[in-house]
């Protein structure tokens, strides 16, 4: 009888260990900077081959600390990003200008621009798309 009782207690203990852990709601907050773009994708539409087009990605620092963009890089040399070199204060807006040169390109294009800053997360992405058509 003692063995049966001990077996039941041991089984109950093991079953309790195998119960899925209840998930706790964890909220992550930061007092840092936070970058929010008005638009993360811009479509130039149809572009004639050789045409150079630009777009400004407007953003706001919705955080509580100055936003510092340390770099912006494109997926190819045909796309040039220009970003603010001075801190963007909390609540302020600014923009990243992206220029795309369609020379030597044909068809659908999707150029990504990786933005590195002190925001959370530290890397973000915007991109421009368009269709390059030949001058026939």
Q: Give pLDDT tens digits for 10-67.
A: 454 544 444 444 444 433 345 688 999 999 999 999 999 999 999 999 999 999 999 9
pTM here is: 0.75
How many helices (H) and strands (E) in the chain? 1, 8
What is the tens place of the pLDDT at every residue in 64-107? 999 999 999 998 999 999 999 999 999 999 999 999 999 999 99
Residue 31's pLDDT is: 65
pLDDT at residue 32, rounded to an integer:
84
**131: helix, strand or coil:** strand
Answer whether residue 9 shows pLDDT above 90. no
**Got the DSSP string for 34-74?**
-EEES-SEEEEEEEETT-EEEEEEEEEE-SSS-B-EEEEEE
* Higher local confidence (pLDDT), 124 or 15: 124
User: Would the pLDDT of 111 be above 60?
Assistant: yes
Enumerate residues 6+ apart whose C-beta is below 8 A from 96.
56, 57, 59, 69, 72, 81, 82, 83, 84, 113, 115, 126
**Interatomic CA distance for residues 2 and 82, integer angstroms:** 78
- All domains in the chain, ordered by first residue: 35-133 (2.60.40.10)
In the structure, what pLDDT confidence band is assigned to residue 7 with cuts at 50, 70 and 90? Answer: low
């Amino acid at each position: 009888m003692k063995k049966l009782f001990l077996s039941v207690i041991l089984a109950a203990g093991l079953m309790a260990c195998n119960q899925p852990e209840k998930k706790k709601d964890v909220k992550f907050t930061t007092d840092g900077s936070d970058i929010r773009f008005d638009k993360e994708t811009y479509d130039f539409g149809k572009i004639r081959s050789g045409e150079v087009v630009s777009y400004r990605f407007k953003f706001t620092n919705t955080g509580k600390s100055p936003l510092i963009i340390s770099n912006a890089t494109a997926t190819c040399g045909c796309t040039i990003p220009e970003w603010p070199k001075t801190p963007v204060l909390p609540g302020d807006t600014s923009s990243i200008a992206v220029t795309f040169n369609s020379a030597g390109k044909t068809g659908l294009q999707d150029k990504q621009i990786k933005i590195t800053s002190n925001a959370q997360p530290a890397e973000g992405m915007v991109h421009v798309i368009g269709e390059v058509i030949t001058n026939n």
